[in-house]
Chains A and B, each alone.
Chain A
């Protein structure tokens, strides 16, 4: 089992080794979460790397990743466990007695139950994704699960985690999550990365991109985020766009190229109309000027 990082710097290194460039405060938070066994609550716009953090921690520490995608109406049978009734019935018809019917082999384990079970590679990473998509009853249920790290199956008894899992909750803030749940977590607002960090991320994630093109892409996206847009492009869009441009063998941005590929960056018609209708050229000229000035 891989050791937990011993300091904030080590945590930073761990994340970086998996290609996740975290700022200092996110690294601090991750370190705290790992040391204090507290869940992390990540809030932020779509596509800024919230879910990715969980994947990276799991990979970096060599732990299993258990993902619970939230939706409205999520309940015990879809998030904790369910008895395999059909199998139980067949077993009964084949003469299995009532006492043996509640055996673990008839138990279908869902994310939360899996997370509290012992794992060979150490406590797993439990990712509760897009918690804002679920409803208040499930949130209330999570309160208990997250504070004690135990689940109750009436027929089997209480199953308690020997070592608590590493829990990461994410939210796109399409709804306010109750304070009682947030209080139990370490809260972090994941913002859009600044130029340097975005550049580092792009280099780490899309190494095949040429330096010149990467610079242009990041500068353009950074400027785009300052425009009055309904949905500003996230980090995921930057990476997508860079990949698109590479696939098209583009070496430098031009208004035509932007018009053709803007669908990878902006996802609202109003925004696209605004940018392709003149703003793209203006931004492009501006970044070219800035680059000249730097040289």
Chain B
């Protein structure tokens, strides 16, 4: 090693800090391990050094690119080790956000805040008043009101109501077992174990039953222009459902799509709904733009379905289904997705009209592949969805609409 070996650990620590700023989580134990690894491999070959650090620090495929970029930026200067401190500081103090991206980020965040933003800026006193104003009967009135027709204050109240809402799902039998007195299946292993205690005589026959297993939930939410009035509310709904995780879901995966598909699952773990929505707003770049359902679903099937649908799951597809191009592709993508899910539930706000009939080509293409077709335009319909999932009875419009198609 060179004489700079003494500063190498420091450099690695600074490098990790830069990485953390770029959004790669690295634990202290990993740094120690990385230092150990580098001392084993030696600091002679840049490629080896790169691989060593990468192996020690990166744990997810999506971080590889970030790592490579930060690595190139950070270890660019060959004389870096000699004058680390002078060179280093500008690198790590540089803001990680691309200035070009900033307006887009703000725009997206604004898009998220539009409509429901006002009441939150209101002074504390006024908020208290609002809370008092919504007595029980008001909430009831509110629950039937279309999200589209709500005032800013009502939206705020509705968001609050959604926060307490979860989704309940029937559990399915898993591959693990628990003792149950009234089960049918004999737990042979335990019976033998008991016999061992009583000198080889089987006195009791313990029974076992498959432990109920939780299903995964995958939500695909349309955020294109035609969904504007609903997408924010739906995001609140998705967030509240994700926060219920551990009560009725094994894992919740969230995706948004407009012109592109975005995975928002990591952002759904942020506890505070407003912070989570802000984060989603700055992550997703196609709010209220056009819509390309077929290609987004294709993207999902190609890159994500194999990762998130491998365990039994329920898919909620939130979209109005207003797709103009690529109907054939839309149909084949829906067919593929339906094959991989236990239940594919389509939430469509267009069902707010009683006379709704499936005229649009996109809707006609998608309808045959969903297992149920439900409304999502007001609080009542969301509550209904939650209740029906638990009972296995859907407020299902699919049959009626398929009938209309014929």
Contact = CB atoms under 8 A, between A and B. Distances in A.
B401 interface: no
A250 interface: no
A92 B196 contact: yes
A292 interface: no
B141 interface: no
Interface residues of A, number: 42
Interface stretch (B57-65, B83-91, B114-122): B57-65
A92 B307 CA distance: 50
Query: For B33, B51, B189, which residue has the most chain A Cβ atoms within 10 angstroms?
Result: B51
Contacts of A136: 250
A41 B401 CA distance: 49
A85 B64 contact: no
Interface stretch (A121-129, A173-181, A255-263): A173-181
Contacts of A88: 192, 196
Interface residues of B, number: 40
B105 to A, nearest CB: 26
B40 A36 contact: yes
Contact of B51 (A25, A137, A173): A25
A73 B176 contact: yes
A186 B41 CA distance: 14
Given A183-B30, A186-B56, A85 B193 contact: yes
A59 interface: no
Contacts of A174: 306-307, 310
A230 interface: yes
Contact of B199 (A86, A92, A188): A92
B78 interface: no
Interface string B182-205: 000000010011011001100000
Contacts of B192: 85-86, 88-89
B175 A73 contact: yes
Contacts of B37: 32, 36
A136 B246 CA distance: 13
Determine chain B's interface SS by DSSP, over half rule.
Answer: helix
Contact of A8 (B36, B41, B199): B41
Contacts, number: 94
A220 interface: no
Query: For A71, A88, A92, A187, which residue has the most chain B Cβ atoms within 10 angstroms?
Result: A187
Contact of B60 (A31, A86, A179): A179
B264 to A, nearest CB: 15
A46 B189 CA distance: 36
Interface string B106-125: 00000000000000000000
Contacts of B33: 36, 38
A97 B55 CA distance: 53
Contacts of A189: 61, 64
B52 interface: yes
A295 interface: no
A77 B187 CA distance: 14
Interface in B175-233: 175-176, 189, 192-193, 195-196, 199-200
A85 B37 CA distance: 46
A24 B47 contact: yes
A136 B30 CA distance: 22
A211 interface: no
Given A8-B41, A24-B51, A85-B192, A183 B59 contact: yes
Contacts of B143: none
Contacts of B308: 175
B302 interface: yes
A77 B189 contact: yes
Interface in B33-71: 33, 36-37, 40-41, 47-48, 51-52, 54-56, 58-61, 64
A32 B40 contact: yes
Contact of B55 (A32, A35, A77, A179): A32
B20 to A, nearest CB: 15
Given A25-B51, A29-B51, A132 B310 contact: yes
A203 interface: no
B174 interface: yes
A36 B36 contact: yes
A273 to B, nearest CB: 11
A187 B51 contact: no
B357 interface: no
A176 B27 CA distance: 19
Interface string B1-39: 000000000000000000000000101011001001100
Contacts of B388: none
Contacts of A72: 174-175, 311
Contacts of B176: 73, 75, 137
Contacts of B61: 43, 173, 189
A43 B174 CA distance: 26
A154 to B, nearest CB: 12
A230 B55 CA distance: 29
Contacts of A38: 33
Interface string A111-132: 0000000000000000000001
A89 B307 contact: no
A136 B174 CA distance: 13
A205 interface: no
Contacts of B55: 25, 28-29, 32, 186-188
Contact of A182 (B60, B174, B196, B311): B60
Contacts of B250: 136
Contacts of A32: 37, 40-41, 52, 55
A164 B51 CA distance: 24
Interface of A: 8, 24-25, 28-29, 31-32, 35-36, 38, 43, 71-73, 75, 77, 83, 85-86, 88-90, 92-93, 101, 132, 135-137, 173-176, 179, 182-183, 186-189, 230, 270
21 contacts: A28-B48, A28-B51, A28-B55, A32-B37, A32-B55, A72-B174, A73-B175, A77-B189, A89-B200, A92-B196, A93-B200, A135-B175, A136-B250, A173-B307, A175-B307, A175-B310, A182-B60, A183-B29, A183-B30, A186-B55, A189-B61
The 9 closest A-B pairs by CB, nearest first: A73-B175, A85-B192, A174-B310, A182-B59, A25-B51, A92-B200, A28-B51, A186-B55, A93-B200
Given A174-B310, A189-B64, 5 more contacts: A25-B54, A72-B174, A85-B189, A85-B195, A85-B196
